Amino acid sequence: MLLDATESQLVLVDYQERLMPAIHEGPAVLANARRLAEIARMLDVPVWGTEQNPSRLGPNDAALRAACRKTLAKMHFSAAEEGLGEWLRPPAKPQQGGNARSLPKHLQKPAPLAAERGTIVIAGCEAHVCLLQTALDLIDDELEVWVVTDACGSRTERNRDAAFDRLAGAGAELVTTEMVAFEWLGSCEHPAFKDVLGLIK
């Protein structure tokens, strides 16, 4: 099972200016999140952000915030508790009414729903709190969750690694930034290959 850019969305959790200095290997975690956001932009993958209690922890990193379609300010640790799921699964559009020659409603075929991007690639801080709780809720909501481990962080390695163990046990796929990039590309013949490679190298 490989990632497909056309079926993916990227969620970036709480890369906030007052939190990142406390994160173990914070500069590397943030650099990988920025790479992910830029690769997503190149490949037309929607990007969403969250900020935990931004009045206390400040906004997300400016480059990440700019890459997001929307940023959800939240107080719950799980962004799914505050509406992230509605962003990831927009409501189906109502069917258009027919004319006098249309079949009765009970005989009409339902209109096909817009293609759903049910693969959620997620990364963020802290891995054992907001990232973990959001990812577990998305799994409960029957979304396919892929956690980008080298773009996730906690204040301690032990907490970060415990989160990865728990997420894997719950059914999340654990990947790295480069794995996501090359799976989204699929081929060295992809038009964005050289630009993405430049970001990775």
In the predicted model, is pLDDT for residue 132 greater than 80? yes
In the predicted model, is pLDDT for residue 141 greater than 90? yes
Helices (H) and strands (E) in the chain, counts: 8, 6
In the predicted model, is pLDDT for residue 115 greater than 50? no
Least confident of 110-114, 125-129, 137-141, 187-191: 110-114
Please give the DSSP secondary-structure letter assigned to residue 102. S
Q: What is the pLDDT of residue 165?
A: 98
Domain ranges of the chain: 5-87+116-200
The answer to whether residues 184 and 43 touch, using CB atoms and an 8 Å cutoff, is yes
In the predicted model, is pLDDT for residue 1 greater than 70? yes
- What average pLDDT score do residues 27-40 get? 98
Q: pLDDT of 13-30, one tens digit each?
A: 999 999 999 999 999 999
CATH of 5-87+116-200, one of 3.40.50.850, 3.40.50.300, 3.40.190.10, 3.40.50.2000: 3.40.50.850
More confident position, 103 or 149: 149
In the predicted model, is pLDDT for residue 156 greater than 90? yes
In the predicted model, is pLDDT for residue 12 greater than 60? yes
In the predicted model, is pLDDT for residue 161 greater than 80? yes
For 4-73, the DSSP string reads -GGGEEEEEE--BTTTGGGSTTHHHHHHHHHHHHHHHHHTT--EEEEEESHHHH--B-HHHHHH-SEEEE
In the predicted model, is pLDDT for residue 154 greater than 60? yes
Least confident of 44-58, 113-127, 156-170, 185-199: 113-127
Residue 145 amino acid letter: V
> CA-to-CA distance for 114 and 46, rounded, in angstroms?
15
Q: What is the pLDDT of residue 101?
A: 55
